[in-house]
Amino acid sequence: MLTTKKCPKCDLGGADLTNADLAGADLREAELTNAKLDGANLEGADLTKAELRWRDDVGDKGKMGISEIGDDYCNVTYEASFKGANLSSASLGSLNLQKVIYNSHTIWRGASYNEFTQFLNGFNSLNEQMEFKRLSPF
């Protein structure tokens, strides 16, 4: 995967990809739950619909139902970590980024998102110089 950088729908759940060079990688619909992407270079990577979800006390990655999302009583925790990751020009369309871990060294500039991308409370995509790209109606 690191050689070809083509990994659509692959399972990288729990992988330690710290400082990995994933620039331009095709990670569409990839399983990245519990992945450690701290310091990874994801510049230009396509993470559209990648699974950055969570694990919970039921073990179903939060897929039981929408009412479970953010429920204080079900021990939902997000594990994907982007501390210091370079996400510039990455495609983040339709991702749930509400609880990912990031820090002041995470580079979001130029990353694109769409109307289905979910951000953390208080996260300002304009301040991070991200680009909104509406999904085509066709």
Q: Looking at 7-11, 13-17, 78-82, 132-136, which range is the least confident one?
A: 78-82
How much is the pLDDT for 73?
40
Q: Which of 52-56, 59-63, 97-101, 132-136 has the lowest mean pLDDT?
A: 59-63
Strands 54-55 and 112-113: unpaired
The reported pTM is 0.76
Joined together, the tokens standing for residue 79 give 């594990």
Domains of the chain: 1-119 (2.160.20.80)
| pLDDT tens string 73-99 | 444 445 578 999 999 999 999 888 887
Query: Which pairs count as long-range contacts for 127-136, CB under 8 Å and 24+ apart, including other chains?
Result: 130/92, 133/93, 135/93
